[in-house]
Amino acid sequence: MILSLMAAAGKASAQKEHQRAHIGLIYPISTNGTKAPQISNSVSLHALSGVSGGEKGAAVSGLATIIRGPQKGAAVSGLMNLVEGEVQGADIAGLLNTAGGTVKGVQIAGLSNTARSVKGAQVAGLANIAAGAASFQVAGLSNTSRHSNFQLSGLVNVTGTGNGQLSGLVNIARKVTGIQMAGLVNIAEESEYPIGFLNLIKKGEKSLGLTLDESGNAIVAFRSGSSRTYGILGLGNNVLMPEARHAAEVGLGMHIPLGRVVRFNLEISNITNTNFYSTAYYKAAFRGLVGVQLGKYLELVAGPSFNYVNYLAGYEPYVAYSLFEVYGAYSVNTFYVGGVAGIHFKL
């Protein structure tokens, strides 16, 4: 039905008249009749759908609003707003907003928003798409633009250049000058502050390292990110606990330069020790590691750690000493100070 309405109005020339009010049921059953695509209005009210040459106030339709020219003000529809020209104001629809020109305002849709560019905000339940630049995009699933000031999505963000990205799973960009935070992976040619467990930054920093901590966890970990922030993914074994020998590590870190060959690495680490039948030990650690560069590819690291451990009641203590312990019905919570040392090979 909507497509047929667009086809019927498609041959209309640019708007020539202006009316204060346009009221109707469905095109062409309205006060402007078949001339509706040639007339702009201050107020449009349609029970089902309306067509106009432009809007300079408010347009409200039960299903769809089709504007063949520019829009100033607000367009509110139960299903969709389709604007061929520039939007200055707000488009609010239950499913879809589409603007052929620049949106200077906001698009809010239950499903998706599309525009040539956005000098304002796009908010959608599913996806936002801007062919050019977009100031602010918020979507339940994904955002796409050529340039963005900030993107927030539940799943994926994609942009050429951006000032910030936040997603539940993946961020993709050519260059990000601010924070790029993802639940799993950041991908970019350049990124100043990638925050994710895996950061594939072309002009970033990557290393493969071996560390050993006070509890016997010997872990080989991949550290990836920039010269400022990085993520940690590792696997290894515990040489002191045969009942939970296998270890896995995820974490985040930050580099703080102290000199030409010395820097301070702050890390938040989460290590799980398991026998594959049950998770025996979980450790969350905050580590402050001094890193000393040995040539171009090697870095020695060592420093203290502050640890919280939860382990199943009945298992051996995680370490022989602790600051204090809290006993529950099924598990034990331990707090203690430890340490870690290792070597990193830059890739």
**Surface-to-core class of residue 203, CB atoms within 10 Å of its CB (0-12 exposed, 13-18 middle, 19+ buried):** exposed
Tell me what pLDDT residue 221 has.
98
Tell me what pLDDT residue 93 has.
98
Mean pLDDT in runs of 10 for the chain (347 residues)? 46 64 95 95 96 96 97 97 97 98 97 97 98 96 97 98 97 97 97 97 96 96 97 95 92 96 97 85 96 94 97 86 89 95 96
Instruction: Say what the pTM is.
Output: 0.87
Please work out, in degrees rounded to the nearest 5, the angle formed at the alpha carbon of residue 279 by the alpha carbons of 273 and 281. 50
**Surface-to-core class of residue 178, CB atoms within 10 Å of its CB (0-12 exposed, 13-18 middle, 19+ buried):** middle
β-bridge mates for residue 54, sequence order: 40
Tell me what pLDDT residue 157 has.
98
35: Cβ contacts below 8 Å, ≥ 6 apart: 17
Tell me what pLDDT residue 239 has.
87
DSSP 3-state helix, strand, coil percentages of the chain (rounded to 5)?
Answer: 5, 70, 25
Phi/psi of residue 295, each to 5°? Answer: 80, -155
Tell me what pLDDT residue 66 has.
97
Place of tokens 């330069």: 257
Rg of the chain, C-alpha, whole Å:
29
Do 234 and 199 touch, CB atoms closer than 8 A?
A: no
Expressed in angstroms, the distance from the first to the final Cα of the chain is: 58
Tell me what pLDDT residue 16 has.
59
